Amino acid sequence: MLRHRLGFWLIGAIILAVLLVAGRAPLGSWSMLASSPALDTLYVPVQWWQSFSLWFRDSQSLQAHVEDLQKRTQQQAALIQEANSLRDENRQLRNLLDIAGITGYRWHAAKVRGRSPDTMSQRILLQVNGVDADDVIVSSEGLVGIIDSRTDQHATVRTILDGSLAVPVTVPGTALAALLRGQGDRLKVSFVPLEQAPKVGAVLYTSGAGGFFPPGIAVARITEVKPIPGQLFADVEATPMAHWQRDNWLAVASHIQEEP
């Protein structure tokens, strides 16, 4: 009987030891990456359905669709021209004012293939090639996170809600230099001096400190500023600007390696 009970405890202790050892190994993102073939397979019926449904659309609606797309392409071309001229103007102004810009990054698009099922979708699986670990992920609204692991065709993203990621942030036009860290479902802003604390609703941008994140990208909106009695720094909470839970495409900013 005693031997039987000791056996239980031994099995329990072994399981706990395995958990403790394995829990420290960075296995998570690789297991998500390994499930990418299944995800691609799951999307195949969706693509089939889209192709199949085209057979049942009449030519008039298809023609209207093509005309709409052509119109949008022309609008996009005009916007690209405008963006190019603004980029040149911006570069000249930055040279005049001696301000560092978002240089040293190559931008490309990535398709979202999967997300973790928690309500905030803290992890994302992208279909993308030509990226490296630690490349920065951005949506049209703001900073999303960084690439954690990758294969030739897929990459996993650790979002800014993850506690392991710290983003140097600032409020443009102020001397604030704070650090933003994920808390699972919200963001905490550390090292905000009481006298420099931004107001609720203010938007924090990447400061570019450390050279890891490009400067000037919107990161979070302040939701709460609480002074702590007897403390130099305020307790500041924020919410991400980007809503990657519903974005189908994200942008990747790859660090351009300088030739020695």
Partner 1 sequence: MTALAILFLAWLGSSFNLAFASSMVQPDWALALLVGSLLAHRANWVWVLPGIAMHDLILHWSLWVCLPIAAAIPLVLIYLDEHLGVGLPQRLFMLLLVTVMLLPWGWSVQAWLLTVGLTVPAWYVLSKQYAYAT
Examine residue 239 and tell whether it contacts partner 1 (CB under 8 A).
no
Examine residue 154 and tell whether it contacts partner 1 (CB under 8 A).
no
Query: In this chain, which of 111, 172, 185, 210 binds partner 1, going by CB under 8 A?
Result: 185
Residue number, 42 or 80, with CB nearest to partner 1: 42
Examine residue 6 and tell whether it contacts partner 1 (CB under 8 A).
no
Cα separation, 232 vs 32, whole angstroms: 42
Query: In this chain, which of 110, 122, 143, 213 binds partner 1, going by CB under 8 A?
Result: 122
128 and 155 in contact (C-beta within 8 Å)?
yes
How far from chain centre, in Å, is Cα 195? 30
Examine residue 140 and tell whether it contacts partner 1 (CB under 8 A).
no
Query: In this chain, which of 90, 101, 120, 224 binds partner 1, going by CB under 8 A?
Result: 120
How far from chain centre, in Å, is Cα 27? 20
Cα separation, 90 vs 36, whole angstroms: 40
Burial 92-115 (b: 16+ CB within 10 A, else e): eeeeeeeeeebeeeeeeebebbbb
H or E element: which one contains 63? Answer: helix 59-97
Examine residue 134 and tell whether it contacts partner 1 (CB under 8 A).
no
255 and 105 in contact (C-beta within 8 Å)?
yes
The interface with partner 1 within residues 23-82 (CB under 8 A) comprises 23, 27-29, 31-32, 34-35, 38-39, 41-43
The least distance separating partner 1 from the CB of residue 126, rounded to whole angstroms, comes to 12
Q: Which stretch binds partner 1 (CB under 8 A): 22-30, 192-200, 220-228, 233-241?
A: 22-30
**CA atoms 30, 132, 38, 244: torsion sign:** positive
Examine residue 99 and tell whether it contacts partner 1 (CB under 8 A).
no
150 and 137 in contact (C-beta within 8 Å)?
no
Could you say which DSSP state residue 241 is in?
Answer: S
Residue number, 61 or 119, with CB nearest to partner 1: 119
Examine residue 3 and tell whether it contacts partner 1 (CB under 8 A).
no
The least distance separating partner 1 from the CB of residue 23, rounded to whole angstroms, comes to 5
Binding string, residues 100-119; x marks residues near partner 1 by CB under 8 A: -------------xxxxxxx
Query: If you count DSSP H runs as helices and E runs as strands, how many of each does the chain have, helices first?
Result: 4, 12
255 and 135 in contact (C-beta within 8 Å)?
yes
Residue number, 22 or 96, with CB nearest to partner 1: 22
The interface with partner 1 within residues 214-233 (CB under 8 A) comprises none
170 and 196 in contact (C-beta within 8 Å)?
no
Examine residue 184 and tell whether it contacts partner 1 (CB under 8 A).
yes
Q: Which stretch binds partner 1 (CB under 8 A): 12-20, 53-61, 173-181, 197-205?
A: 12-20
Kindly list the residues in this chain that would bind partner 1 in the complex (CB under 8 A).
8, 11-12, 15, 19, 22-23, 27-29, 31-32, 34-35, 38-39, 41-43, 113-123, 125, 184-185, 245-246
